Amino acid sequence: MQPVDRDQELVGIRAKLKELLVSNLNIEGITPDQIKDDDPLFGEGLGLDSLDAVEIVVILQRHFGVEVKDMEKGREIFRSVNTLANYVYDTKQGQK
């Protein structure tokens, strides 16, 4: 049963992440549902920059209780909404 629970929970995390990214990073002209799960967040994707990366760290901490301490690891974690959601889910599972 765990894979189904995981998938369902990831859907919710991804949706919440998209809403938080759009509202907290003031991304204009785009709605949360227009962000694809695998769209790159930085560079040619959503066009986020290094200050946004710090803001995402804060979002994860505030809204999911998840910390990102290793910024080298952060490169992979911050690649897309999918990778962020997986990190949130896995970290929260590890906290249980």
Partner 1 sequence: MNIAGIGVVGTTGRGVASLEAALNRGWTAPGLVDIRGSAGERLPVYAVPPEVLSDKTVLAKARRADRFTRMSVLAAWDALQDSGLAASVDRTRLGVIVATALGPHATTFGFLDGILDFGDAAVSPTAFSHSVHNAAASYIAMTLDVRGPTLTLTHFDFAFHEAVSLARTWLAANRCDAVLVGAVDELGSVMQFVCGRMLRPAADGRIKPFDFSVKPESVPGEGSVFFMLTRDNAGAAYGRLGAVSRDHSAVRSTGQSVQLLDACGLAKNETAYRTALMPGTLTAGYAPLFGSVMTGSAFHAAIAALMLKRQYRYAVPVAENPHGLDLCLETGAAVVDQVFCTRLDCAGRRGTLHLSAVR
Check residue 95 for interaction with partner 1 (CB under 8 A).
no
> At 35, is the secondary structure helix, strand, or coil?
coil
> At 5, is the secondary structure helix, strand, or coil?
helix
Instruction: Supply the minimum distance, in Å, between the C-beta of residue 67 and partner 1.
Output: 9
Check residue 26 for interaction with partner 1 (CB under 8 A).
yes
Residue count at the site for partner 1 (CB under 8 A)?
A: 12
What's the half-sphere exposure (Cβ side, CA atoms, 13 Å) at 36? 4
- DSSP letter assigned to residue 91: H
Q: Any bridge partners for residue 33, and if so which?
A: none
Q: Which residue from 19, 55, 74, 83 is in contact with partner 1, where contact means CB under 8 A? A: 55
Instruction: Supply the minimum distance, in Å, between the C-beta of residue 26 and partner 1.
Output: 5
